[in-house]
Structure 1
Amino acid sequence: MMKMDSEDFTVAIIPPASAFYPLEGRRYTLCELISTGELTLAIGNQKSYFSTSPPSQLLLTAEWITNLGEYRLDCHVFIDEEEENKHLAKVRFMIFQRELTRLLTALINGDKEIYTYNPLLLDASIHIQYHSSHENLKQSAVVGTPRYYLKTNSTIS
């Protein structure tokens, strides 16, 4: 496992993944440690990488896929669980919307070497899917390209 640390952000590339492999099916799990607020990003080709020790909160998952021959980054944000009330889910949804630029900046900059080996990904679209048990919070959007998050948002914190 390769780690790149900064003051409040850790990236782990889980083998057999590397800085340039795999491209299709490359998966990301972005979490926040509950005790410190540190963002942790795992990159690999499996669904989930983090255990519950230390306790962390899943912020988003993402995967590179192809659609009609074009790459796109599909991101999934999980707003609530079945038992949460609608008001708390709405507050959480608004927080995710406010923090989305920071989260995507962390994800894109945490794996910026992949763009050196695969520059076509710089202009691939990023699709966000918000998942919720409340119908009015289930939404999707296209939120730009990796090039935008690499150029205009150079800091993670």
Structure 2
Amino acid sequence: MSNWDPMRITVLYLPPATEFRPVDRRKYTWTQSKTTGESFLSIGYDYDFNAIQVEYRDEVLAEWIPQMGQYVLSGKIFISDESFDEKYAKIRFMIFQREARQALAAMIYGDRTFFSNYPWLLDSPIYIHFQSNYHEFNKIIYYETPRQYLNEAIQPIVL
């Protein structure tokens, strides 16, 4: 996450969602500009399918889901379907596995006001499902808690 700049994120709330609601099924759509590197985060009751570039499929989607007495931030990243060969799927998996932390940092930092109102969510687990038609890339990986991402984002820069 060393190259992630919290100042290069644009946050859009999709009405009727706000900085304060909903909690259940609050959805995040994260995309990034290929040319500027700027992050775009949409927050709403639904995913922002208008922000997704279908030809690249490089978005990260996540939502808050109540599960066994706690909330879980459950995300998904498209890796491959039958239109991708295994070699290309492997490359996508390796890239997204590395870049998922940046996307999560943008989501958590971009929605930090929400967390100030629901601080108990800061210790909720984050799971990302890498979706692939190839078994070796179709997996769910634990990505810590929102607290780790906020702590990293607000660390002072050491020169």
Name the TM-score, length of structure 2 as normaliser: 0.84
Amino acid at match of 1:92: R
Q: Equivalents in 2 of 1:16, 1:89: separation in Å?
A: 37
Amino acid at match of 1:67: Q
Q: Equivalents in 2 of 1:51, 1:144: separation in Å?
A: 26
Amino acid at match of 2:107: L
The aligned counterpart of 2:93 is 93
The question of 1:140 aligning with 2:116 is answered: no
CA RMSD for the aligned pairs? Answer: 2.1
Identity rate, percent: 36
Q: Deviations over 1:17-67 (max 9, x none)?
A: 0001000110011112344332211000013342468x8744210000101
Q: Which has the higher strand share?
A: 1
Deviation of the 1:111 alpha carbon: 0.6
What secondary structure sits across from 1:29 in the alignment?
Answer: strand
Q: Equivalents in 1 of 2:65, 2:20: separation in Å?
A: 15
Indicate conservation of the 8 Å contact 2:57/2:78, yes or no.
no
The question of 1:111 aligning with 2:116 is answered: no
Indicate conservation of the 8 Å contact 2:52/2:59, yes or no.
no
The question of 1:129 aligning with 2:136 is answered: no
When residues 144 and 51 of structure 1 are mapped into structure 2, their CA distance, relative to the original with a 3 A threshold, is closer
What secondary structure sits across from 1:18 in the alignment?
Answer: coil
The question of 1:14 aligning with 2:40 is answered: no
The aligned counterpart of 1:75 is 75
Amino acid at match of 2:116: T
The question of 1:29 aligning with 2:7 is answered: no
When residues 57 and 84 of structure 1 are mapped into structure 2, their CA distance, relative to the original with a 3 A threshold, is closer
What secondary structure sits across from 2:153 in the alignment?
Answer: coil
Name the TM-score, length of structure 1 as normaliser: 0.85
Deviation of the 1:105 alpha carbon: 0.5
Q: Deviations over 1:103-146 (max 9, x none)?
A: 11111101111111101100000011110111110011211000
Indicate conservation of the 8 Å contact 1:33/1:56, yes or no.
no
When residues 58 and 99 of structure 1 are mapped into structure 2, their CA distance, relative to the original with a 3 A threshold, is closer
